[in-house]
Amino acid sequence: MPPNFSTYFSFADFNGGMRASFDQFRAELSQFNGPAVVYLCSVMNSVVTDWQGHYRAEAHEELVRNSFAPQFAERIIAEGRNPENPRSVYHRRQLLFVSKQAILVCPEVGGKDPLVPPHSGEMGRVLLMANDLLPKGLTRAGPTVLTPDQMINVMSEFIPVGEASGTFKAINKIVRSRLMVDRFFPKAGTEIRKLFEERTGVALDEYFALCLATLCRYSDLDLKKYQADPGTFVLSEGWYRTTPVSPAVLASFLAEISATAEDFTKSISQRKDATSDFTCFRSKPIFRENQGYFLIDSLCLAEKGESGVFWSVNEALPKEERLRFHQDWGLAFEAYVNWLIAESSDESLNHIYPNPEFSDTGDEVCDALLVCRDSLLFIESKGVTFTADAKYGTDPAKLRDEIETKLVQNRESGKGIGQLAARIAEVFDRKRPRAIQGLDTSKINKVFPVLVTRDDIGAALVINAYLVSRFRDLFNRKSVSVTVTPPHVLSAQDLEMICGYLREASLADLLDERYRNDKGMLSSFWLVDNPIIDRIGGRECKPFADATHAYFGSVANTLFPSGEARA
């Protein structure tokens, strides 16, 4: 379906159109106790949406009633129920923003308790002010056709908004990372495991298991359960004691994923963070106060379970060895993508050729070729990680430079889009086409360039349109003998969901429908109407589902070898 963005109320809606200033917001926020504000925002974050990002309207409405005078609450609730243009007050991006600001400006001891009336109402006012301060430039009318520079500017705002909205599945991130390390990394990830344990004090299997166990601890928490027993939101080391994990390892794990208010203050102060840069919580998704711990954000914990492995190993390596590690990480992601497609597909619809080679030199053509009857998909998989400065910073030029270097081309050669353009031109050159070992291309009529990214940036709005424009700069359509579509950009999660359909439909047909309903390629795959998917109905990717089931089993074996898991 087409993109449908919900909007939110701000302070200006109840203040005669006058927006709150940053100084006004911080002045009112600073009256509250900092850890208590972070706690309140974390609870709200957990009950308004579940750990997989599903919105809970009833919880939002009850929080609104508890925060605002009746006349204001009823207006907010009524507009929230408007199916044409639903509006809310509380959302993930706002709550993380307020938590970060509270760490910076609120006292650690003393100050108002935002959980105690009438201060809860005052806190509702502060949260409305925060909505005034979150960038909303994309709601203004603009041109329907964007220049590349305009696309970069739009992305620099949309990427943090999209990622902060929590649309990515937490479990996918952890399972994907586990599969890459266990199945597809050189030597089954032996070196990674050794380096990770040396740096963190936690064996990798225990780390993955404890991350998932902590996520599951909050998976069924809703507002009613919290109200019945607020103590369920706070963790202690004792909660983990029924597992065979040693106290020393548990202490190391908690040190790796948690931080105190003082720790957060130091890390935030060292970075000139933009409004939606929540790197501090991605690095430490658990707040630690005295002997208690609570989850700030479930998706941040999932990202820690995914990217924490990469960054811990990266930092443990000497600088001269990091390039090789990055290359191996990319190869593991490439192998993962090829495995996922192969295991998901009916070969009569989607026949994959992993790592195909040219007949003349033996050089690799691309990461994979996929034959869909008379169509051929050239697939490049990129396991690169984009920096926080590029994705969440205030300088769009940094984002453009990283996209160019990591997804288009660098000084030495094509990368991603540049690579696809060059290889398609060689294989289907009108004058001197290059043959591919084991594949007859004489019956191919249409070619699809496909780029898959491990980083969530592949699902960002406008990224596909920008890479289409760059592909056109690099590719001469008149030089080839086949029809070449614009490139299609998918995130890893996009592909994991698409693979559920590859036993009943070809990927070429699915991409054709996506393009037919979004000629400008401004949206992402799952935000565009697709009649084939509508006709087939809901499907899950069986190999990924099986891997997830196996992962839960391995967690149970690691943490509860006796078979008695605790609730």
Strand runs (DSSP E) across 405-513, as ranges?
446-453, 483-484, 488-491
3-state secondary structure of 469: helix
pLDDT by residue, tens only, the chain of 567 residues = 444 456 899 999 999 999 999 999 999 999 999 999 999 999 999 999 887 778 899 999 999 999 998 999 999 999 999 988 899 999 999 999 999 999 999 999 999 999 988 767 789 999 999 999 987 544 444 456 789 999 999 999 888 888 877 678 888 988 999 999 999 998 878 999 999 999 999 999 999 999 988 988 898 899 999 999 999 899 988 888 888 899 999 999 999 999 999 999 998 887 756 777 898 999 999 999 988 999 999 989 988 888 888 889 999 999 999 999 999 999 999 999 999 999 999 999 999 999 999 999 999 999 999 999 999 999 999 999 898 889 988 889 999 999 999 999 865 566 899 999 999 999 999 999 999 999 999 999 999 999 999 999 999 999 999 999 999 999 999 999 999 999 999 999 999 999 999 999 999 999 999 999 999 999 999 999 999 999 999 999 999 999 999 999 988 888 877 655 444
Pairing of strands 375-382, 488-491: unpaired
Amino acid in position 189: G
Residue 309 phi/psi, 5-degree rounding, is -65, -50
Burial class (CB in 10 A: 0-12, 13-18, 19+), 87: middle
Q: Any idea what the Cα angle at residue 58 is, between residues 55 and 62, rounded to 5°?
A: 120
Q: Are 166 and 299 contacting, i.e. CB atoms less than 8 angstroms apart?
A: yes
3-state secondary structure of 16: coil
- For the chain, give every residue range classified as CATH 3.40.91: 324-536
- Residue 2: predicted pLDDT: 41
The pTM is what? 0.91
**Continuous segment of H or E residues that includes residue 375:** strand 375-382
Q: Any idea what the Cα angle at residue 99 is, between residues 96 and 102, rounded to 5°?
A: 150
Burial class (CB in 10 A: 0-12, 13-18, 19+), 246: exposed
Q: Are 417 and 470 contacting, i.e. CB atoms less than 8 angstroms apart?
A: yes
Helix axes 319-344, 298-316, angle to 10 degrees: 130
CATH class as words, domain 324-536: alpha beta
